[in-house]
Amino acid sequence: MKKTFIYFLAFYLLTTPFLRADEGMWIPLLLKKYNIKDMQAKGFKLTAEDIYSINKASMKDAVMIFGGGCTGELISDQGLLITNHHCGFGQIQSHSSVEHDYLTNGFWAMNSNEELVNKGLTVTFLERMEDVTDKVLANVTDGMTEVERQKEVAKQIKLIEVKASMSGKYKTRVKPFFYGNQYFLFVNKVYKDIRLVGAPPSAVGKFGGDTDNWMWPRHTGDFSLFRIYADKNNEPAEYSPENVPYKPKKHFPISLKGVKKGDFTLVFGYPGSTQEYITSYAVKMKMELENPNRIKIRQAKLDIINKYMRSDAGIRIKYAAKQSGVSNGWKKWIGESRGLKRLNAINKKQAFEKNISAWMNKESSRASKYGKLLPQYKEIYKELSTYELAGTYFYETYYSLDITRLISSFRLLEKLDKDAKEDDIVGVRKRLKPAIERTYKDYYQPLDKELFAKMISMYVAKMDHKFMPEELTAAKAKFKGDFEKYTEYVYKKSLFTNKDKLTAFLENYNAKSLKKLQKDPLFKLFKGFIKMYVEVVLPKTTALDTKMQGMDRLWMQAIMEFEKDKILYPDANFTLRVTYGKVDDYFPKDGVKYLPYTTLAGIIEKDNPDIYDYRVPIKLKELYKTKDYGQYGENGKMHVCFTASNHTSGGNSGSPVINADGHLIGINFDRNWEGTMSDIMYDPDMCRNISLDIRYALFIIDKYAGAGYLIDELTLIK
């Protein structure tokens, strides 16, 4: 391919000195070239090598992907890690029952024998990263179609990943940056024996609940503790009682000095996804189409789930993690929409597009290369909106249901050949049994039925006829639009709503059983939805997305050329990033100023036994009354949380917050509601990340839980 833009990219990154205040999610490998001087000017006392190095132990060796979507960090030389309570929530829930309600009462292993095994939980460490742009694009030419380009890129990525994996020793991924203008290889090591060590009760770890989620001031002790185990050679291994605590290259010292306004803060973690460079047309679709409909659907779900959770402790335990997942997105999208509206985001994007269009048209070569992009975006988003809405309703209503995911797994039976041997059936049976157990472990049918009826009703009310599965059209006519009656009918007739029937069907399955499965009303509905989505929605969205991939790549090139006096950071893509800022307050609205920290006094102020989110444990009240804070207090106060100006996103949950000396001062766990639009448009005056003060976590471990032996493992800086 022509190397013009690759050369420009290198020149651009080497010669642009201007950084935007506190905004950005920076690539650790490139800190020495592009960020470290700015970081040091803002107070950081260490070097880029202290953060990322392949030649010595560095901070990257103490930071990990926790599970599939959070960050965690090592805090001892015995494999002890800390992450958010909400990141470990699924594991805490899985070990909970009415008899052992760890969600309500907390859990603390008082020795290694009491630590709880978590099947399927992994942590992933980055060994190294490498710019492989030249290798990935080596055979790409300007004459290729977008589909041809994608195939060639995928081919090269596969070759690079296989070679770097060293016969499976490492988990490797090549990821695109700047919309496919740059590519990096990530070589990771995955540990599979991760045990629960401690978690505070939800009245601490989830204090404030959905009421305070995304909000400041905040008083949530959002942390949990796990331990990594390895084999006798310190290498990854499946669970075994013979495994020993992992000996890390690096763990974070913990500062007991606290924080004050203006202190340097570094967040090191795995932000999930941002869209900082999208056009006004994309922002408009998000604000006017995607977010309002997602919010509406999830509000309906929450109304039903919350009603049942309030009625019974067993149901509350079963649905706690699910409710949290539904609520998190619901509240985030509300805040994001409000923030974008307040920033006048569409108009700001349009003003930028007017300026860049003028720049494009000043030179014929630029006009030829970039001039048609914005008109093309306008037409594509106009066409895409209808199908995007259908996709949103498909996933948020029908496809999000527990029963749907269970049915989906049973497609494996359809894939068996009619002459399948018993060994093949046994193999599929082994794969499906866990799906049944997972579903019914945290399942309450009256709730599920009400949710099903509501979601189907909402889908039918909103969707055009071309997005309607034939089975749903027939049901609407047969039951005269009464989807509660339809739900009663299918739940009585279907195998999938009765664990015993479904298990017996699976145990006795043979080639002749397929017809029974295919006649099942819920299985037929599932196939109808999938047929509609695959034949109507997917072809259109795939074609438009493919076209836009090439356009997005060109649009990014244009922005980088147009803003050549700025260093632009790549959008988050769940790869390791550094973001730096300072402890800071903010003004959420006229006449109101929020301090950058909260204390235990605020928890006592919120205490209300009649409101579930604000129930304060008796022991915590006693510790407050006696001011028994030990070495973790500050001037007679127990600090709980603080805000800073670090640019974070989903995936940064659990990330270490590090001070100028490289010491752990907090655990990132949220953003302020007024700043949730930072995934699309960052506002330095309003965007704040919310972190747990590490001293509060230690106070809970030591004084509240009485697990002082864990404190002995830590490296404390006084």
Q: Say if residue 465 is exposed, middle or buried (CB neighbours under 10 Å; 0-12, 13-18, 19+).
A: exposed
Query: Of the candidates 189, 190, 246, 224, which has an alpha carbon nearest to the alpha carbon of residue 91?
Result: 224
Q: What pLDDT is recorded for position 83?
A: 99
**CA distance linking residue 693 with residue 260, whole number of Å:** 11
Count Cα atoms within 13 angstroms, Cβ side, for 200: 28
Q: What pLDDT is recorded for position 3?
A: 47
Catalytic residue among 210, 222, 584, 702: 222
> Structural domain of residue 110, as residue ranges?
28-122+192-275+571-713
Same domain? 296 vs 245: no
Same domain? 648 vs 706: yes
Same domain? 484 vs 531: yes
Scan for tokens 């013979």, then name that residue.
242
* b/e per residue 637-666 (b: at least 16 CB within 10 A): ebbbbbbbbbbbbbbbbbbbbbbbebbbbb
**CA distance linking residue 198 with residue 92, whole number of Å:** 9
Q: What pLDDT is recorded for position 422?
A: 80
CATH number for the domain that contains residue 248: 2.40.10.120
Residue 72, both tokens: 């965690």
Count Cα atoms within 13 angstroms, Cβ side, for 499: 13
Q: What pLDDT is recorded for position 419?
A: 65
Given 551, 583, 604, the domain boundary residue is: 551
Same domain? 166 vs 251: no
In a domain, 563, yes or no: no
Same domain? 185 vs 248: no
Same domain? 134 vs 226: no
pLDDT digit string, tens, across residues 121-139: 999 999 999 999 999 999 9
Q: What pLDDT is recorded for position 17?
A: 47
Q: Which amino acid is at 107?
A: F
pLDDT digit string, tens, across residues 181-208: 999 999 999 999 999 999 999 999 999 9
Number of domains into which the chain is organized: 3
What pairs with residue 190 in β-bridges?
Answer: 124
Q: What pLDDT is recorded for position 20?
A: 58
Given 551, 582, 602, the domain boundary residue is: 551
In a domain, 387, yes or no: yes
Same domain? 489 vs 590: no
In a domain, 180, yes or no: yes
The residues near 551 (Cβ < 8 Å, ≥ 6 apart) are 373, 376, 377, 380
In a domain, 4, yes or no: no
Average pLDDT, whole number, for the chain? 95
In a domain, 18, yes or no: no
Same domain? 251 vs 355: no
Same domain? 72 vs 149: no
Same domain? 133 vs 182: yes
Q: What pLDDT is recorded for position 417?
A: 66
Catalytic residue among 50, 85, 86, 584: 86
Same domain? 334 vs 238: no
Given 171, 191, 211, the domain boundary residue is: 191
Catalytic residue among 53, 58, 327, 653: 653
Same domain? 381 vs 255: no
Residue 222 annotated among the catalytic residues of the structure: yes
Query: Which residue stretches of the chain have pLDDT < 50?
Result: 1-5, 7-8, 10-17
In a domain, 13, yes or no: no
In a domain, 16, yes or no: no
* b/e per residue 431-464 (b: at least 16 CB within 10 A): ebeebbeebbebbbeebbbbbbbbbbbbbbebbe
CB 172 within 8 Å of CB 159: no
In a domain, 558, yes or no: no
**CA distance linking residue 702 with residue 30, whole number of Å:** 39
